[in-house]
Chains A and B, each alone.
Chain A
């Protein structure tokens, strides 16, 4: 961004904190961008002629006589078809040595779609992973995060889902992404021959933390261009939203705001909702689906970040390692897709909902049996059978390395039912049992 002629340059900062600077200036508008020395900053507070700016790169080394120039406009992104296949930093500048994008300049973080103009998400997104398709089917226009401890392979699973989802565009917003993971994404997309439908906005761990705050809005502005203007189905990947929230708490702390739970700002819910609610099914056929990552600390979902996220998103996919089989599975208890009812049993086979529930109920019985073992009790015959079922279920259906279609998933489940249980124990609608029960 270049400063224009006749622009007033201020040279006296009144206050500097770790993330903000304040100065006296006239004619400044809310949320506009400015250059402080060589760093980009954004207006966060104006009181009379005292203006407070948030400096994205941090204020290390800034002097009180740094030059400040205001741009008169909020952060924006130039959108156009040329975005496809490109890599950008958090400000929307190319980092792949390619040319600047030519096209229309759009403010990021713009208004939301009128809820009345939205359409109900309706298109099933098969991923081949039974832990997702069978138990937590994804629907286009949905927003759903992976909840995972930092040691889980969430980025790998997300890349796999993205490639299988057959989206027109995949937009990656990387926040605090390690350089290794960034290269992993790039190589995976490249090897799959998908680079021409990828757009990346990346803030790596080497970049300043506060810059991350721009990444989701950049990614979603690009997504809105392709979904609303070009009627495309866009998949947005955001990793890692916990690091985004950390950046929010840094800024609010520097601005002397009173923290609420877990030292997060009181506005965390609204801040996250503004991002996730960009997921939409548009009447013109375009859609934005958001798959995000929220890393947990020790599996604690009551922490403010996963907790607020869970209230905003349409479910969550909980990754954990199954101690019995040693495989990474999508936890059937803690995972949920709120939109699955719109497609399962409708775009998939009729027995899908009931089979799904029966599997989970029996898996829960197995968990009870495990507790019995831990407490040193004898197992009943039924307990033994649920344990065997749980092992097979975990290996053949819950593990993330499964890649089969939903019919095969359902048939596998029926096979397991018949192998280990009687019909009353499975207890689902009789007409379905009559039709699908595997008599071996």
Chain B
């Protein structure tokens, strides 16, 4: 019999329940409000009092209301039909909800129980299997969705029976497994897994060794993201975090994209709903929405479900990773999740850490980032979850607790700079402060040198040096005046501007410029670096500035035109003439 309880205290969405039996930390319970059953999660237990955070408004709730404990943690439902869905933070399907307004206590099924899937068994009777092993497959959009031995089944089993190929719904039995003691377990296409636990049904998790192409020059060329890597994008508001995340979602070379809109604006999610179905995935030519799942817990939706939303998203990512897929998980913004933790910690009257955040914030964040990664599955295939979160630092100050905790956990740091955003240099990723630790991995260096050019790593670091030296030269010019420095300072500054304007800046709203494939990045980068190697002589700094502005203008026009098209070549010729003319002087 399940544990029951009665409401004893109400402090906003923290409810104190007097219980009559055993309860577990993080156990799910339902509270009977006058109009609905409200879902809640146990977050603290003292004596017979269980403190639960309610995932809904507690308005109108009375002392003495009945509470029923469910005996399990918050679980994610895993099975075919997750792709293209729009869920809230608790995996309720937003599309099947009635009414214009969200009604509390309205919970909808995550998967369509009536949908019929064409199932083909891929294992054989007699196979020895463990959790996460593939038993069969169905086609979900264009992805091969593997039906696996449920992750909860620890130990070793033998496949005793497999359903023949045919059409099945998710709840129909498709296999029977027996354990060493001869117990028989039926398996369907659907399984559940606690959101806060990592799925570890794989063989090993090596260091990432190849990059995930994003089509964003400043990332791919300067600070590449590894497949199975982690990164974060901190930035003050208005610096283009969301535009950058959307660009990644549209362009990244991944099989599946999960976007967790965590405590952010509803209109940003609406933008995805409106745009993605119209866009084409540049890698497969399929509709972009076919590979996208949205977990949407916007800022006006209940705060405690915000925390759940990132875990729900990560669990979905791990599930698809176990099918041998490349998953990109984007969360916007992890600061809102941290704030949800803070609100609850405050109501629990815990002693606060820095900026009133809970003491274990850093541990929670790194525990979450650690769930991403590249894995070898039990059958030797590979899969990955690449995670990029945004952070919204209070006051744009990167010394605040969420940014600092995240910096310890993530390997790539894409700092958005207010100064760059103010002068509309987008994407506003700071070329000097940002880094990708993966560039230091020998595996990644080898991969890039093989994939792009043998001396690529050296060329990238040379470009970074030019940018840094240009910045220093500019500081000198600002201190000593245009006339107070040798012309070579101007030349150095303008060479860094050349890299900035042509390589680092990119127009996310231009159809051509938005997505820059690696080949094109290499071509333009080589061209710019060659220009940087050239020695020019100028009569004065005005001539120098005018010359480089012309070059920048032509190169930007090249970025706006079809790669190697007629217009592109015309500009290239113009560029060549301009350079030769200047050299001749």
Contact = CB atoms under 8 A, between A and B. Distances in A.
Contact of A314 (B265, B342, B557): B265
Contacts of A325: none
B482 A118 contact: no
A427 interface: yes
A284 B59 CA distance: 29
B9 A48 contact: yes
A273 B300 contact: yes
Interface stretch (B19-27, B101-109, B141-149, B251-259): B101-109
B339 A270 contact: yes
A37 interface: no
Contacts of A378: 481-483
Contacts of B549: 424-425, 427
A31 B61 CA distance: 9
A116 B86 contact: yes
A397 B542 CA distance: 29
A415 interface: no
B237 A364 contact: no
A263 to B, nearest CB: 11
A334 B101 CA distance: 34
B183 interface: no
Given A258-B356, A361-B424, A382 B542 contact: yes
Interface stretch (A55-63, A163-171, A232-240, A369-377): A369-377
A114 B481 CA distance: 57
B383 interface: no
A30 interface: yes
B478 A29 contact: no
A430 interface: yes
Nearest to A358: B424
B136 to A, nearest CB: 32
Contacts of B238: 310, 315-316, 336, 338
B535 interface: no
A312 B268 CA distance: 11
Contacts of B104: 111
B235 to A, nearest CB: 11
B395 A270 contact: no
B100 A48 contact: no
A117 B61 CA distance: 28
Contact of B266 (A277, A307, A339, A353): A277
Given A74-B59, A302-B395, A302-B396, A260 B482 contact: no
A182 interface: no
A142 B268 CA distance: 11
Given A28-B63, A47-B16, A312 B346 contact: no
Interface string B263-301: 101110111011000000000000000000000101111
A97 interface: no
B336 interface: yes
Given A29-B60, A259-B356, A112 B394 contact: no
Interface stretch (B91-99, B190-198, B208-216, B360-368): B91-99
A116 B94 contact: yes
B245 interface: no
Nearest to A52: B11
A111 B356 contact: no
Nearest to A260: B356
B355 interface: yes
Interface in B551-572: 552-553, 556-557, 560
A274 interface: yes
A420 to B, nearest CB: 14
Contact of B478 (A283, A302, A371): A371
A314 B8 contact: no
Contact of B101 (A29, A112, A270): A112
Interface in A234-286: 257-261, 266-267, 269-270, 273-274, 277-283
A310 B273 CA distance: 23
B100 A113 contact: yes
Contacts of B509: 341, 353
A257 B346 contact: yes
Nearest to A377: B481
A277 B300 contact: yes
Contacts of A259: 356
A311 B271 CA distance: 17
Interface in A48-70: 48-49
Contact of B10 (A27, A30, A141, A339): A30
Nearest to A27: B62
A322 to B, nearest CB: 16
29 contacts: A28-B62, A30-B60, A46-B10, A46-B11, A46-B63, A47-B8, A74-B59, A112-B102, A116-B86, A118-B267, A120-B270, A121-B267, A141-B267, A142-B267, A260-B355, A261-B395, A270-B339, A279-B267, A304-B394, A310-B238, A311-B333, A316-B238, A338-B238, A375-B478, A377-B483, A382-B545, A382-B546, A424-B553, A429-B560
Given A30-B61, A47-B8, A114-B97, 6 more contacts: A270-B303, A341-B509, A380-B542, A381-B542, A425-B549, A427-B552
Interface of B: 8-12, 16, 57-63, 86, 94-95, 97, 99-104, 236-238, 242, 263, 265-267, 269-271, 273-274, 296, 298-301, 303, 333, 336, 339-340, 342-343, 346, 352, 355-356, 392, 394-397, 422-424, 478-479, 481-484, 509, 541-542, 545-546, 549-550, 552-553, 556-557, 560
- List 4 A-B pairs, minimum CB-CB distance, nearest first: A302-B395, A277-B300, A273-B299, A377-B481
